[in-house]
Amino acid sequence: MSRRARVSPAEAGLPAGGRRRTPGLRREEVAVLAGVGASWYQWLEQGRDISVSPQVLDSVARVLRLDNTERRHLYVLAGLNPPAMEAAAAGEDMCEGLQRLIDTWMPYPAHIMDPYWNNIRYNDASALVLGMRPEADNNCLVMFFTDPIYRARSTSWERNAPQVVAQYRAACSERPHDDGFEEVVARARRESDEFAALWERQDIAPSGVMNKELDNPLVGPLLFESTSLRVPARPDLTLTLHTPREGTDTAEKLQWLTSPEGRRGTMYPVAG
């Protein structure tokens, strides 16, 4: 009722007509515009136990001009699984703010991925430690299996590979039949027999915290906890932060690696 009162007849494409006792649209007008029966719509507002389809709720959400968060809430109120979160228009400018965030995370590696795990932003530590660079494959899944620099440095590769594939399958399940995921999987299968074998296992696992061990050619072993975080205002993006493991000298090594002296000694062509 509150959202109905927000929408004027003119905004809904209806003639204003005469004076109205209450602001906004009448129930009957919403029903007509959404293509449902007036009694059914009244029962929906009253929260009665009726059969509701996603298509009808989307029609009601369109008429009431609900944003994505309100539309998801409508699904929950109706007892349906809400649709996937979408990036709000106001969130389109957040990438620069997220870049500042991962730059502030220095000297620890941090990067930002889109839904398909394409790497869209990374900080200097990710370049120095993880081998992220403009000429590398920008998809983190494909890079994990095919990039020689990362493979040479990752001493936890064998242990983490099944978990990485299982997490990607979980990401795919959030958007079934999405061509973007299908293209990445097809490319990874073509370029890596190891990926193809793991993908056939059909394991699935949630993203979260993963332990990573890297052997840097300049400072030796680096031990991290890698944490993946979703950004509510940009649910299409995942923020991955690498934190030095407690009880290790990783933090001190990263301080040196990102110093002017350490940067002078870093050469990407050195695979080890």
> 119-122 and 220-231 as β-strands: parallel, antiparallel, unpaired?
unpaired
Cα 82 to Cα 42, 61, 201: the distances in Å are 22, 13, 29
Cα-based angle 75, 81, 85 (whole degrees, multiple of 5): 80
91 DSSP 8-state letter: G
d(CA 24, CA 5): 4
Which residue do the tokens 């995921």 mark? 181
The rounded Cα 261 to chain-centroid distance in angstroms is 36
* Exposure string over 64-91, b if 16+ CB within 10 A, otherwise e: bebebeebbebbeebeeebeebeeeeeb
d(CA 212, CA 241): 12
- Per-residue model confidence as pLDDT tens digits over 158-207: 999 999 999 999 999 988 888 999 999 999 999 999 999 999 999 999 88
Measured in Å, how far apart are the chain's first and last C-alpha atoms? 64
d(CA 125, CA 75): 42
Instruction: State the Cα torsion 102-106-108-114 to the nearest 10°.
Output: 20
At residue 270, the pLDDT reads 43
Task: Write out the two tokens for 45.
Answer: 């507002």
Rounded to two decimals, the pTM is 0.75
Q: Where are the alpha helices (DSSP H) in 84-123?
A: 94-104
Cα 48 to Cα 26, 27, 52, 122, 143: the distances in Å are 19, 15, 11, 50, 51
Which residue do the tokens 């209450």 mark? 22
Cα 220 to Cα 139, 149, 211: the distances in Å are 26, 14, 17
Q: What is the pLDDT along the chain (272 residues), one digit of tens a residue?
A: 889 989 988 888 888 666 777 788 989 999 999 999 999 999 998 988 888 999 999 999 999 999 888 898 999 988 888 887 666 555 556 678 899 999 999 999 999 999 999 999 999 999 999 999 999 889 999 999 999 999 999 999 999 999 999 999 999 998 888 899 999 999 999 999 999 999 999 999 988 899 999 999 999 999 999 999 988 878 889 999 999 999 999 999 999 999 988 887 665 444 44
